Structures are given as C-alpha cells and as structure tokens.
Amino acid sequence: MNYSIETAPLEELQCDCIIVGVYQDQQLSPSAIALNNSTNGLIGNIVNRGDLSGKNGETVLINAIPNSKIERILLVGLGENAALSGKDYKKALLAAVNSLKKPQIKTVVCCLAECEVTARDWQWKASHIIEVFNDAVYQFTELKSDKETESKIEKISITAPETERIAVESGLLQGKAIAEGMNLAKQLGDLPGNLCTPSYLAEQAIKLGQTYSSIEVNILEEAGMADLGMGALLSVSRGSRQPAKFIILDYQCGEKNAKPIVLVGKGLTFDAGGISLKQAPGMDEMKYDMCGGAAVLGTLLAAAQMQLPLNIIGLIPSSENMPDGDANKPGDILTSMSGQTIEVLNTDAEGRLLLCDTLTYAERYNPDVVIDLATLTGACLVALGRIPSGLLGNDDALCNDLTAAGECANDTVWRLPLWEEYQEQLKSNFADLANVGGKDGGTITAACFLSKFAEKFRWAHLDIAGTAWRTGQTKGSTGRPVPLLSQYLINRTLTDKS
C-alpha cells in the first residue's frame, strides 16, 4: 500500500473516494464544509434529510457528485462535536475503511486527521489512520486458488495543512512500519502448522535479517540448546518430529553500552497438548500458539524500519507440542537451564517450559528489561475476554509504561496481581516446582512460574491468549501486540537519555 500526505485543496484531488467526518446535530467537519461548498450543498442536504445522524461509526457513501471531478464522498459519523477518545477515533476509522471494501475503490483521500482526538497530535493521527486501514484490508489469501480480495485500496492520502507536514510525514513512516510489522505477525499466525514449523519460523527470521541489515539473526539447533542445558525447552520438542529452533535476533542501533530491551516470544507452531491431549473442538486454533514469536519478529521489523536508536534482543523458542512416543509424560521431572527442577503435571502447560529456559538465557544480555509475550493460558480468556492482553510483572514502572503504551496504541493490557501467596499453588512433592497450579487463577500461576526464572532483571509478561487472534466467523490473526510494543519502544527513544 502507498501512503502520502496531501496539502492541496480538496476539489482538486483525483481519487476514487474522499472521506470526511460529520458530527452529531448536523455539524460538519472543516473538510465536510469545504466539500459542501464546492458541491452546491450536497452534504448539507443529505444530513438535513436525516440520512446521517452523525453517530460514531455511521457511514453514507455518496457515489455520484453532479458537476464535479470528485468520484465519491464517504461521510463518516464522528459522534459529539468534541475531542474524540482514541478508541472512538479508531471506531470511526474502522467504519470508514469497512464501507470502502469495493473493487472500484483503489485510491482514497482521508480527511479525518483534522478531527480533535484527546491528547493526540497529527503525527499520532496519521500513524493511526495507516495502521487501522492496513489492518482492515488485510486478508490471508495465500492458500486460496482465488486470490480476489475484498478490498482493492492501494493508495491512501492524508490531508493536512502545510504547517503539520513534518508531523504527518513522521506519522506516515511510523504507521507504515507498525502496519508492516503487524502484517508479518498476521501472515505467520494465519499460516497453518504444517507449513509454519519451527524451521519455517527460523527461515523467516533469517529473511528478516537479510532485508534489514540492522538485524542480525542466529539460530540455535537442538544440540546447541542441549549444551546450554535447556532441559525444559527440549523436553517439549522431544514429543514432536519437527526439530526445535531457538531464534536470536540482535538489533543494536542504540548507544554502544546501553543495556538492551529483550523481547521473548512463545513460538509454539502447533500445540496439540502433548500426552495431555487437547479436545478436538477448536484445536485448529492452536496453530496460533506461535503468535508471541511472530509479534517479536513484527516488532523488530517495525523498529528496524523506524531505525529506532535502541538496543533490542529478540528471543523466540520455537517447537511443536505433540503426543509422540518420546513426549513428556505427566509426572516427568525436568531440569531447567537455571538448575531448578520441574515436575510436569500437565504436558499441555508447555509454553512456560519453553519460556523458562529462554528467560534464563536472557540473563547473559544483562538486560534493562525483559518482556515476554505468549499465548500462555486459556484462563486469560476467562479472566479478561478478548479485549486487553493480560499483564503481569515484577516491576511497577515497566508495567505502567506498558499500560500507557497500550492505551496510546489502542492495543490495551490489564494488569493482574503477581503476589507471593499464589506461589503456594506451584509446590511439587518431588521437584522444585510443578508446571501447573491447579484450576484457580491460571493466568497468575503461569506468570508465577515464569517469575521464578526472571528474578535477575526487571520483567513483564503479556498473556496474549485472548488477543493474538480472533475466533469464529472472522477467525484470523490480529497482529497484536505489535502496536503496543512498537509504541513502548518509540516511547523509550523519547525518554531514554543514555
């Protein structure tokens, strides 16, 4: 997709559709007023007739404009004539793009960056328009014979006054980077487990490193993991015919001595549950169990494209969880890389087995912070549904920064407590730790387990089980939490002095 800024008067623009906003009570946005004047009061007539009340998310497509070069105008309701919340702004943008999914519409001019949004500037609005439009037109057609897509939008121009040119141009670059990061994460997520294997994921990481010279990629094979003593991780992959891969991405664009931000992503390319086999309904969705890993790749793509002056390490432990003859059995006891022993009471709690060795591995980077992202627990869906990702961590400042970044990016998180009291549930009669903590507070006990391997640094855990993909009719990857992490990284470049 092609993005640009447009500062010329509206009536002179050549495009398939111009998008303008209308507030409640028949109040037109500045661009709607301009178009209304140049079309003989056309928009005013439609609004006065009551065809558009101006409620947020409502749309009317005017597809014939007499005596004008303009092909179409899309009116979008914005709600009350006041500053919009970031959420309502996204809602209006989504409504707009969803009503333009027609093959005739290839080029659009969006005049919605002029809307006031509480605490957000032109840069944010431009970036958000690009992200939302891109997200909405994405379709996974790779494996269909008929590759016809719903939407043919190829070009978006954002109108802005000359005085905002610099802000909007930087918003375009940012939006494009995040959108491409999300696309990569979504593509990998939607790809089925027979194609997206640990080896495939590793190849895609290597490709990313070839595209962006600032990203260096290394892959550890099982022998290398064995040398490091990654007994927990390797125990999971023993149950599968696909060899595990440990993907290491190294992006060093910050100060030479600045401690890195380490991003860890669960890369389980298919989770059958192992010997504690999952039920059949919905099991196909366990191809999405690598979405944490995919989001690490997407976020690094975005960081590299924005050339953020930071040091970032991406770590993706990748494996399948299958019920092979050599698979983990309930009761098995493993020795993790940290030396702590783990009793496997349920082989379906495999994510934490991958992550614990990865967290121990992260120590060698002397990290400033470690953030892991994982489709870790079904319990997170019970607790929070599919709106925010779960957030837990051992550092309030880091958790607050992530919460703020999520709010800004419209990719929200909600913090759950990580209290000592919960550790009780992970006691094992035979090992240092059990890998499950019973049926109560499953998201919290999973994080408690991880915290035992994250004592040497500031750490936060994002449980993205409810947010990494949509289920049902619109089943598909969301690309979350790439927007949140990208925003966190951008914020770090604004506040970091070192």
Set 278, 415, 456, 470: catalytic member = 278
Residue 278 annotated to the active site: yes
The partner in contact with residue 379, picked from ligand BES, Zn ion, Mn ion, none with C-beta cut-offs of 5 to 8 angstroms by kind, is ligand BES
What is the pattern of x (binds Zn ion, CB under 5 A) and - over residues 316-355? -----------------------------------x----
Cα–Cα distance, 457 to 199 (Å, whole number): 30
124, two tokens: 């944010």
349 is a contact residue toward ligand BES (CB under 6 A): yes
- Is residue 111 within the footprint of ligand BES (CB under 6 A)? no
Take residue 295 and report the two structure tokens written for it.
């989001």
Instruction: Select which of 176, 352, 452, 480 is catalytic.
Output: 352
289 interacts with ligand BES by CB under 6 A: yes
User: What amino acid is encoded at 26 in this protein?
Assistant: Q
Structure token pair of residue 84? 């919009």
Residues in contact with 193: Cβ distance below 8 Å, sequence separation at least 6, in sequence order: 269, 270, 286, 287, 320
Could you say which residues in the range 256-285 bind ligand BES, by CB under 6 A? 271
Site for Mn ion in 250-279 (CB under 5 A): 271
Report, in Å, the least distance between residue 201 CB and ligand BES: 16
Q: Which is nearer to ligand BES, 285 or 395 (CB)?
A: 285
Report the run of H or E that residue 393 belongs to, with start and end: strand 389-393
Cβ-based nearer residue to Mn ion, 393 or 442? 442
Give yes or no: 352 in active site: yes
Which lies closer to ligand BES via its Cβ, residue 201 or residue 310? 201
Comparison of 379 and 450: residue with beta carbon closer to ligand BES = 379
In 3-state terms, the chain is what percent helix, strand and coil (to 5)? 40, 20, 40
* The two structure tokens encoding residue 336: 């993790």
Q: Does 401 bind ligand BES (CB under 6 A)?
A: no
- As a whole number of angstroms, the distance between CA 430 and CA 345 comes to 11
Per CB under 5 A, 260 contacts Zn ion: no
Q: Give me the torsion for CA of 215, 221, 223, 227, rounded to 10°.
A: 30
H/E element, 362: helix 351-362
For ligand BES, how many residues bind (rule: CB under 6 A)? 15
For Mn ion, which is the closer residue by CB, 320 or 348? 348
Distance (Å, whole) CA 420 – CA 152:
53
Residue number, 171 or 442, with CB nearest to ligand BES = 442
Cis-peptide, bond into residue 481, ω within 30° of zero: yes
Phi-psi region of 373 (alpha: psi -120 to 50; beta: other; left: phi over 0): beta
Q: Is position 463 an interface residue for Zn ion (rule: CB under 5 A)? A: no
The dihedral of CA 6, 105, 184, 384: what is its sign?
positive
272/279 Cα distance (integer angstroms):
9
Is residue 348 near ligand BES by the rule CB under 6 A? Answer: yes
Q: Least distance (Å) from Zn ion to the CB of residue 375?
A: 6
Distance CA 476, CA 463 (A): 18
Q: Which H, E and C letters describe 269-321, residue by residue?
A: EEECCCCCCCCCCCHHHHHHHHHHHHHHHHHHHHHHHHCCCCEEEEEEEEEEE
Beta bridge partners of 139: none
3-state secondary structure of 241: coil
Within 418-477, the residues that bind ligand BES by CB under 6 A are 436, 442, 465
What is the 8-class DSSP label of residue 373?
E
Question: CB under 5 to 8 A by kind: which of Mn ion, ligand BES, Zn ion, none does 394 bind?
Answer: none
Q: How far is the CB of 245 from Mn ion (least distance, A)?
A: 18
x-marked contacts with Mn ion along 344-363 as a string, rule CB under 5 A: ----x-x-------------
Buried b (16+ CB within 10 A) or exposed e, 3-21: bebbeeebeebebbbbbbb
Q: Which is nearer to Mn ion, 413 or 436 (CB)?
A: 436
Given Mn ion, ligand BES, Zn ion, none, residue 442, with its beta carbon under 5 to 8 Å by kind, binds ligand BES
SS3 198: helix
Task: Please name which of 459, 256, 272 lies closest in space to residue 373, comparing C-alpha atoms.
Answer: 459
Contact region with ligand BES (CB under 6 A), list: 292-300, 341-349, 363-371, 487-495: 341-349
Q: How many CB atoms lie within 10 A of CB 258?
A: 16
From Zn ion, ligand BES, Mn ion, none, which one binds at residue 346 (CB under 5 to 8 Å depending on kind)?
ligand BES
Compare residues 223 and 280 and give the one whose CB is closer to Mn ion: 280
Q: Which is nearer to ligand BES, 269 or 375 (CB)?
A: 375
Contact status, residue 201 vs residue 293, Cβ threshold 8 Å: yes
Residues 289, 368, 372, 401: which binds Zn ion (CB under 5 A)? 289
Task: Report 350-379 residues binding ligand BES (CB under 6 A).
Answer: 350-351, 375-379
Note the residues at the interface with ligand BES (CB under 6 A).
Answer: 271, 289, 346, 348-351, 375-379, 436, 442, 465
Binding site for Mn ion (CB under 5 A): 271, 348, 350
Interaction site with Zn ion (CB under 5 A): 268, 271, 289, 351
Which amino acids are annotated catalytic? 278, 352
